[in-house]
Amino acid sequence: MKALVKWDAQPGLLLDECPVPSIGPDDVLIKIRKTGICGTDIHIYSWDEWAQRTIPVPMVVGHEYAGEVVELGANVRHLRVGQRVSGEGHVVGMKSRAARGGRFHLDPETKGVGVQIPGAFAEYLRLPAFNVVPLPDSIDDELGAILDPLGNAVHTALSFDLVGEDVLVTGAGPIGIMAAAVARHAGARHVVITDVNPTRLALAAEVADVEPVDVGKEDLQSVKARLGLREGFDVGLEMSGAPAAFEQMVEHLVMGGKIAMLGIPARPASVDWAKVVFKMLTIKGIYGREMFETWHKMLAMLESGLDIRKVITHRLPAQEYEMGFEIMKSGNSGKIVLDWN
């Protein structure tokens, strides 16, 4: 089969021939139709320090996908050949206290599809049946291919009650934009999204009914005044990984405000902890998606009017992956979907 492989410990990826994975009794084989390019894939493509520390080579990369079940392991009863599916990209162990308690997303032995185990930028993917998520007919393959990052957005956004709340989203990358759309869908009052990239802010306004703010040009204090927020934002969703954005969030949240933090700072950064303490803020780190509550919620919201399709700005055949990776690296895109048909 064709797959995007990192053969050696150096930048780049090659579309190359690989054996079709063989499946075990508890696995399924998925014929991949569409995949999404993630920021993580860009790290692997560029072979930065994180990738060098994390990715064993050779490795087939990619973890955002939709496809069709073509083979079932001997023990798999609840799925069928021909079924359209996506799936959770974190493969968990079953030994930890968290996993045995049903809190699978907290399992410390988690392995990432396309990170530590062979991934989805390929014609076929082997996946534990446990991880498979069937797709309803109303969710097509390209939406199916971006459920992984939508799940990050949903997991973050639904961490705190948003109904009637004023929400600040920092970072209008694809995930921040989707989180803002989720906040709007969930019933927030004001949803403000910040970035320093005008292209991304314009995309945010196109995807969701949100207030885009270029923090390079406008101060959040004047935004609060404009919106009539006397005390500040109730909930912050940190989606940039930029220490400056986190600092602004702490500054502009209300006393007792809540922060859900998905953005990953590139290196350790200092925080004004006295402000966090005196404001009595709650900060929750977010990793991945809850298995499988986040998946249920996002499918249900997509079926009840959440529309994030416009976050997909580029659609390319898999052969043109290099162009896709370069566009993604430029920072001037939303999600990029590769077609494996």
Q: For Zn ion, which residue of 5, 38, 92, 115 counts as binding (CB under 5 A)? A: 38
264 binds, among Zn ion, ligand NAD, none (CB under 5 to 8 A by kind): ligand NAD
| Stretch (H or E) spanning 43 | helix 39-46
Which C-beta is closer to Zn ion: that of 264 or that of 300? 264
Under rule CB under 6 A, residue 195 binds ligand NAD: yes
Look at residue 320 and give its three-state secondary structure.
helix
CA 24/CA 126 separation, integer angstroms: 9
71 close to 28: Cβ distance less than 8 angstroms:
yes
Angle at 85 between CA 84 and CA 86, to 5 degrees: 150
Which C-beta is closer to ligand NAD: that of 63 or that of 84? 63
Min separation Cβ 164 and Zn ion, Å: 31
Under rule CB under 6 A, residue 240 binds ligand NAD: yes
Contact region for ligand NAD (CB under 6 A) — 69-77, 91-99, 117-125, 257-265? 257-265
CA 52/CA 318 separation, integer angstroms: 25
Which C-beta is closer to ligand NAD: that of 2 or that of 310? 310
Q: For ligand NAD, which residue of 14, 196, 276, 327 counts as binding (CB under 6 A)? A: 196
| Stretch (H or E) spanning 49 | helix 49-54
94 binds, among Zn ion, ligand NAD, none (CB under 5 to 8 A by kind): none
Under rule CB under 5 A, residue 66 binds Zn ion: no
The burial of 212, by beta-carbon neighbours within 10 Å (0-12 exposed, 13-18 middle, 19 or more buried), is given as buried
Query: How far is C-alpha 168 from the geometric centre of its chain's CA atoms?
Result: 18
197 binds, among ligand NAD, Zn ion, none (CB under 5 to 8 A by kind): ligand NAD
CA 128/CA 132 separation, integer angstroms: 7
CA 183/CA 38 separation, integer angstroms: 22
How far from each other are the two terminal CA atoms of the chain, in whole angstroms?
Answer: 12
Q: For ligand NAD, which residue of 86, 131, 159, 194 counts as binding (CB under 6 A)? A: 194
Under rule CB under 6 A, residue 241 binds ligand NAD: yes
Identify whether 43 is a catalytic site residue. Answer: yes
- Interface with ligand NAD (CB under 6 A): 39, 152, 170-176, 194-197, 200, 215, 239-242, 244-245, 262-264, 286-288
- Looking at the annotation, which residues are catalytic? 40, 43
